Structure 1
Amino acid sequence: MPPLAEHTTTTAADALEDAEVAVIPTGSTEQHGPALALGMDHMAAEAFARTASDRDDAVVLPTVPVGVSEHHRQFDGTLYVTEETFERYVGETISSLAEHGVRKAVVVNGHGGNSSALRRAARTLREDRTAFAPPWNWWDSVEDLADDLFDEEGGHADAMESSLLWHLREDLVDPDALEAAEAGASEAWGETVHGAALGFDTIDFSESGAVGRPTQADPEKGAQVFDAARDHLHALLDWLAERPLEDCWAREHK
């Protein structure tokens, strides 16, 4: 069915009655080094979520484009909100949807910094029996494939992210800047000294803002990543659509 924002209030009534599950894309608007657009994360999340528009049992909600990105704040263009604000915003959005009868959702997340807030929001919604809304990080579903395609630990604006955006929006990737991104990148996320994590902000360990080896980026590999992650998303949607709501709630103490 068409995304919710493209319905009128009249047609939305029928769409929401038919929907078993909602799909909510969340991401960020933040630096992704010199080669990738600031909107990488929310654009990826929206692309995955939009594939659910082909389903009769799912309704796609508008994208949440700004997330928990304070750790990128020293790089130009980065926007961010606090974890508390993000958690409440997403939670209250899902609560408002539940008033219309759709109480199962998948939060399609494109930004790792959102993960903790989304888990807390999902726990609160379930504890209150308002809605069941597990977050889904696209990169977690393709770890094995990424290991086969790329030689990197990665983490941000790396080969996998660069490949995915190159596949989705060729116009928003600057291939000539991938070498500069890698030259100033760190091999892995963060910095540790004698077991203490000291890399609080990205700039503490990455001069370019990238983490990984973006020069390995390839749009054909990005297509493979997209197709594989999309298939996992739809398998999750199938599972959730078929799952009775009563089976989604927390188990009671005996």
Structure 2
Amino acid sequence: MTADEAAASAARGTVVLLPVGAFEQHGPGLPLATDQVRAEAVVERLADALGGAAVIGPGVPVGVSPHHAAFAGTVSLRPALFTAVVREYVESLAAHGWTRFLVVTGHGGNNAALGVLAQDLLRDRPDLEVAWAPVTAVARTAVGELETDEVTGHSGEAETSQMLHVAPHLVRRDRLAPGTTRLDEIEGFPRLGRSVPQPQVASAYDRLSGNGVLGDPRRATPEAGRQIVEEVVERLGSFVKEWLDL
């Protein structure tokens, strides 16, 4: 967009979509930028679905990833710096008339920081409305049908399926390998049982998985990835439409 087009967009009351991700290990088969690639793919499809009701703002390709630091290539921002960057994006754009922002994160490690940011902005900038949503967690139905092991998640079936759908050229299919799939494979890690909500423990991923993978990415398929992405876009699209109506 040009500056003139941006001004017209803000005047129409569009929602700004901000894709944020991470630059961290994703096992032997997925690229370091997996989370940003997925977030941008979702945001692009969401903007298309919403038409003129949304615009895409600049992304934040590095997130909060200290738990992946033992693996080569990982880059991380401190939570305070990450939230400061996103806040500067929001307030810069707000100065030109935008008031609604939806941050779409491909990285679960950003969740806590984004929650803090939303609370701070609610206190400091009540004139703005800021929402945030993780990618994979929104697609509960499609992900639930795919992930069947006791332990799944990072670089596993769901993330790999999404990458096979949105960026298959970046997936090293011949290198996909299972990681931790059972709770008893994690030594010395306290838990209360699968049916009980777990206390949240900050833990390095090399303690959880030798290759950085939770689950078995060999089960991933492009079709499963398509279903996940479509569910995310549908749910977030419904949210934004209701948000604008309200």
Structure 1-normalised TM-score? 0.86
The one-letter code of the counterpart of 2:9 is: A
1:185 corresponds to: 180
Give the Cα–Cα distance (whole angstroms) in 2 for the partners of residues 76 and 116 of structure 1: 24
Counterpart for residue 174 of structure 1: 172
Q: In 2 relative to 1, CA 99–197 (structure 1 residues): closer, same or farther, beyond 3 Å?
A: closer
Match of 1:144 in 2: 141
Which amino acid letter does the alignment assign opposite residue 61 of structure 2?
Answer: P
User: What does 1:115-130 correspond to in 2, within 5 Å?
Assistant: 115-128=111-124, 129-130=126-127
Q: How do 1:16-95 and structure 2 match up within 5 A?
A: 16-54=10-48, 55-95=51-91
* Percent identity over paired residues: 31
Q: For the residues of structure 2 that align with 1:90 and 1:234, how far apart are their CA atoms?
A: 22
The separation in 2 between residues aligned to 1:197 and 1:141, in whole angstroms, is 20
CA deviation after TM superposition for structure 1 residue 52, in Å: 3.4
Q: 2:160 aligns with which of 159, 162, 181?
A: 162
Q: How many residues matched?
A: 234
Unaligned ranges ≥5, structure 2: 193-198
Note the C-alpha offset of 1:199: 6.4
Q: Which residue of 1 aligns with 2:226?
A: 223
Which of structures 1 and 2 has the larger relative contact order (alpha carbons within 8 angstroms, sep 6+)? 2
With over 3 angstroms needed to count, the CA separation of the structure-2 counterparts of 1:22 and 1:194, relative to structure 1, is closer
Letter in 2 for 1:150: E
Question: What TM-score do you get using the length of structure 2 for normalisation?
Answer: 0.89
Greater shift after overlay, 198-207 or 150-159?
198-207
Q: Matched residues in 1 for 2:182 and 2:88: separation? A: 38
Cα displacement string for residues 59-115 of structure 1 (whole angstroms, at most 9, x for unaligned residues): 110111000001101111111100010111111211111111111111111100000
Q: What RMSD, in angstroms, separates the aligned Cα atoms of the two structures?
A: 2.0
Alpha-carbon distance in 1 for matches of 2:162, 2:116: 28
> Which segments of 5 or more consecutive residues in structure 1 lack a partner in the other structure?
1-6, 244-254
- CA deviation after TM superposition for structure 1 residue 130, in Å: 4.2
Between the aligned partners of 1:141 and 1:116, the Cα distance in structure 2 is 16
Q: Post-superposition shift, 1:57?
A: 1.4
Give the Å deviation of 1:168. 0.6
Q: Could you tell me whether the CA contact under 8 Å between 2:105 and 2:133 is conserved in 1?
A: yes
Q: Which residue of 1 aligns with 2:196?
A: none
Higher mean displacement: 144-153 or 79-88: 144-153
Contact 1:22/1:106 (CA < 8 Å) preserved in 2? yes
Preserved CA contact (<8 Å) 1:32 1:156:
yes
2:90 counterpart SS class: helix
